[in-house]
Each structure stands twice: as C-alpha cells, then as structure tokens.
Amino acid sequence: MTISETNSPFIALSSISKAYRTRAISVPIFDNLDLSIEKGEFVAVMGPSGSGKSTLLNLLAGLDGPDSGDIKIAGQRLDHMGEAARSAWRAHHLGIVFQFYNLLPMLTAEENVELPLLLKPFPASIRRERVAKTLDLVGLCGFGRQNPSRLSGGQQQRVGIARAIVSDPTLLLCDEPTGDLDRASADEILTMLGYLNRELGKTIVMVTHDPEAAEAADRILHLDKGAFVERARVMS
C-alpha cells in the first residue's frame, strides 16, 4: 500500500456532477459535490425528498455513474470500471439494505441470505454455516426456513441486514432502513447497525428521514440543493 493510499479516505468523492436528463429538460442533482468518509465511520445522510440521497447511494454502489468527477472507494476508481467489474466489485465490497427489504418472496429467509454467497467461491457447507451464523447474529436463529411473508416487518429487515452482511463486505449502504418500521422495530435495527459498525468495523452510509435514526450515526450530513450542510450532532 502506498502512503497516499493510506492517507486517502476510505470513500472519496470529488467534484461530482450529476444531472438527470429527459428529452426536454435536464434536472441537476449534484454540482461539484465533494465527500469523504473514513473507514469504520457511520454516516447518516438526511435531506428533503428529491435532494439526491438515493442518487448518492447509487453512485457509491456503482449502480449509477457521475457525469463528471471521481469516485474512489478503498483505493479503487469506481467511475473507471465497466459494468461487469462494478458487479464484481459490489459482490466483494458492498452490502445494501433497502427500505422495503426487497426479499425474494419465493425463497426462504435462509435462501435469501445465501444469495450474495453464491457470488463467491464457497462450497455449500461453508455457505450453510455462514448463513446460520449470520441469522443468529441478527437474532433470527430458527427462522431460516420461514418464508419472508410470514415474518414481521422488523424481522424481514433483519433478514435484509443478514443478507447485506453475510459475505462480510466492508461497506454497508442503507436507504431508509427504518422507513417502513414502527419505532420499536426501528430502534432494534438501529441498535444492530450500531453494533455492526462498532464491533465489526463496518463502514455504514445510511439515508434516513428520521432524526432519531440519524442520532445512531457518528456524523450527520444534510443534503440540500445538491450540497452538504454538515452539523455537529450535539447541535442538531
């Protein structure tokens, strides 16, 4: 590892510009946006609807590309990779947690959690073991054979988290992970994310509308009109 890489942040976005173009108009989302996130940080992103929070996560996930600017994660230039390389990159470095869980309804909880492991060269026995361990970690021991539709919202989201972390990625992206949950379930999920961040060292970027949820993070970024307004936690 070179010195510059050691010193550069885990996630570094510089001068990102992004606009959505339809035939008639162009809607600018980001204009010269910069962002850096350190390894092991837990960052919450807030902001009004349409401010570009999901777009930011899509850029970090390599699901979308910027019009201009650099995206560097763990020393790799995401914006220089092709489609297949970005897929492979996601498989190795990234877990995603969705607002509506996005569990595959025809698969059991276990099979859902196993999916990301299929992208790696693990034999079936190791896959089974890791799935069981991960379900255990999110407190769903014994629920593996259940169909997602038989689980509560909070349980489904825990399956979603298990699926996101089962292949041990360094970065977790969560788009309103508690947006569809009641307070108690939301708190459970936030506690779990906090645990994953502190104990397992996951870097987490979480989009949320809920100020209480944002409190779980180390740092809160406010995205408004395509730029960050950073505030200290104590002040919010």
Partner 1 sequence: MRSTIRQITAMSRTTLLSIPRRLAISLSMVGSIMLVVCVLSGFLAMARGFEITLQSAGSPDVAVVLGGGPREEGNSEIPPDVIRSLMATRGDIGVLRNDRGVPILSREIVVPVEFRTDPDAVGETLALRGMDETGPGVRAGVTLSSGRPIQPGTREIIVGEQLAARYSGLGVGNRVRLGPVNWIVVGHFSSFGSALESEIWGDIDAVAAAFNRVGEVQSLRLRLAVTDQIDGLSRAAAEFVGAQLIALTEAELYASQSAGTARLVRYFGWPIVLLMAIGATAGALNTMMSSVSDRTVEIATVRAMGFSRVSACLATWLEAVLLSVVGVGLGLATSWLMMNGWEASTMGANGTSLAFQLVVGRDAMVEAALVGLAIGAVGGAVPAFAAARLPVTDALRGRG
Ligand X SMILES: Nc1ncnc2c1ncn2[C@@H]1O[C@H](COP(=O)(O)OP(=O)(O)OP(=O)(O)O)[C@@H](O)[C@H]1O
Do the Cβ atoms of 45 and 223 come closer than 8 Å?
yes
- The alpha-carbon radius of gyration of the chain (Å, integer) is 18
Question: Quick one: 55 or 203, whose CB is closer to ligand X?
Answer: 55
Here's the x/- map for ligand X, 31-70, by CB under 6 A: it reads as ----------------x-xxxxxxx---------------
Q: Which runs of consecutive H residues, i.e. helices, occur in the chain?
A: 3-7, 53-60, 83-93, 109-114, 124-137, 153-165, 183-200, 211-214
Least Cβ distance, residue 50 to ligand X (angstroms): 4
Based on the shown chain and the rule CB under 6 A, indicate whether residue 6 belongs to the binding site for ligand X: no
Within its chain, how far is the Cα of 140 from the centroid? 21
Select the binding partner of residue 94 from ligand X, partner 1, Mg ion, none (C-beta < 5 to 8 A, by kind).
partner 1
Given candidates 5, 14, 27, 39, which one binds ligand X under the rule CB under 6 A? 27
Based on the shown chain and the rule CB under 6 A, indicate whether residue 18 belongs to the binding site for ligand X: no
Which parts of this chain interact with Mg ion (CB under 5 A)? 54
Which parts of this chain interact with partner 1 (CB under 8 A)? 54, 58, 61, 63-64, 83-84, 87-92, 94, 96, 98, 102, 104-107, 115-116, 118-121, 163
In sequence order, the 6+-apart residues with CB closer than 8 A to the CB of 134 are 113, 162, 165, 166
Query: How far apart are the C-alpha atoms of 201 and 206, rounded to whole Å?
Result: 15
Within its chain, how far is the Cα of 48 from the centroid? 19
Binding site for ligand X (CB under 6 A): 20, 27, 29, 47, 49-55
